[in-house]
Amino acid sequence: MTDEATAFVPGHVTGFFSAHPDEDPLVAGSRGAGITLSHGVEVRIERDAGASDVTLNGEVLTVDAVDAVLDALGATDAAVTAETPLPLGAGFGVSGAMALGTAYAVNAAYDCRRTENALVAVAHRAEVEAGTGLGDVVAQARGGLPIRLEPGAPEHGRLDGVPASPRVEYLSFGSVSTEEVLSGDTRALTAAGERALADLRERPTPDRLVSLSRRFAREADLLTDHVADAIAAVRAAGGDAAMAMLGDTVFAFGGDLSAAGYDPEVCSVHAAGATLRAQGARDA
C-alpha cells in the first residue's frame, strides 16, 4: 500500500459501433471496433487529500464518471491529477480513460483488493451511467485494435482484436456531443454498426477497419464537414481515412493524412491495456 499511485490508460478511437442500452449498466455497452493509442491519459491518485479534486492538464473540472469511480471505491478524499496530449470530447475516450485510470490508481493507493476485471467493471458502470461512453473503457483495458464482439463489462462482454500494429495519424477539428448522439434514435446507427462488425470479422485487417469505419460514418449520418473534406483529400491522394466516434476528428493508418498534405498528430497502436505504473517492488 502506498499513499499515491499512477496509472496509464491508452486513448481509444472508435471507428464504428452499435449501441446496446440495458437497465443494468454492466450489461449495457456497444459492439464495434477501434484503435487504442500510445497517446493516452496518465492519472495520479493522491490518498487522503482532504477533498476530492480532479484536474486535467492543470485545469480543475468535473468528470461525472471519475466522481462515480471515487464513490464506488470509497476514495472520496482522493486528489485526481490527469495529464494527456489528447483533446477532451473529440472522440479519444478521455473521460473513459480518466475513469479507468482512477479505478486502477485508487485500487493501489487505497489497497482496495480488486482484480483488473472488477476495476474495469467499476469504470464501465460509471461511464455508462454518466452517458459519456459505452465501449471505450473495456477497449482501453485491452489495448491493441479491439473488436467489441459483445457489449458490457468483463463479466458480460466479449472482446477480440485485429492482429496488427500500424502507425496512426489523427487530426481533430473539435467536439461532437456523445451524450446527444447516444440519447437520440440510434436504430440506423446500430444497423450500420452491426453490418460493419460482420464485415470486419470476415477480414480483420487495419485497411478494412478504416474502410468500414468510413462507410459507417456515412451510413449513420454522422460525418462532419471537416472530416468529409479530409477523407476526400486523403482518398484523392490514394489513401484512406475515417471519422472518430464521436468527435470532429479524422484518423488514418500509415502516412495517409501526411501524404494528403495535412500535418497530423502521430502515434502508434498501444499494445497493452491500462496499466499501473511500476512502483517500488513488493507493494506494487
CB of 160 to its own copies, least distance (A): 4
User: With contact defined as beta carbons under 8 Å apart, do 259 and 252 qualify?
Assistant: no
The CA angle 279-13-231, to the nearest 5 degrees, is 145
What DSSP designation does 278 have? P
Which of residues 45 and 176 has its CB atom nearest to its own copies in the complex?
Answer: 45
Query: For the chain, where are the alpha helices, taking DSSP H only?
Result: 64-72, 94-109, 116-130, 136-142, 178-183, 187-202, 206-219, 225-236, 256-259
Per CB under 8 A, residues contacting its own copies are 104, 107-108, 113-119, 143-144, 147, 154, 160-167, 201-207, 253-256, 268-269, 271-273, 275-284
Q: Which is nearer to its own copies, 188 or 272 (CB)?
A: 272
Is the Cβ of residue 126 or residue 220 nearer to its own copies in the bound state? 126
Nearer to its own copies, 188 or 271 (CB): 271
- The three grid cell numbers given for residue 220, joined into one nine-digit string: 449513420
Kindly state the cell numbers that stand for 214: 468510413
Least Å distance, CB 187 to its own copies, is: 27
The backbone torsions φ and ψ at residue 126, rounded to the nearest 5 degrees and listed phi first, read -60, -45
Q: How far is the CB of 36 from its own copies (least distance, A)?
A: 10
We find the least distance from the C-beta atom of residue 184 to its own copies, in angstroms, to be 31
Nearest to 247 by CA among 84, 148, 136: 136
Minimal distance, residue 152 CB to its own copies, in Å: 14
Cβ proximity to its own copies, 111 vs 129, nearer residue: 111
C-alpha cell at 150: 459483445
* 243/217 Cα distance (integer angstroms): 7
Q: Smallest distance, Å, CB 116 to its own copies?
A: 4
**Is residue 79 within 8 Å of 60, Cβ to Cβ?**
no
Nearer to its own copies, 52 or 268 (CB): 268
Give per-residue burial for 113-139: e unless 16+ CB within 10 Å, then b: ebebebbbbbbbbbbbebebbbbbbbb
Q: Judged by CB, which is closer to its own copies: 179, or 207?
A: 207
Q: What is the smallest separation between the CB atom of 104 and its own copies, expressed in angstroms?
A: 6
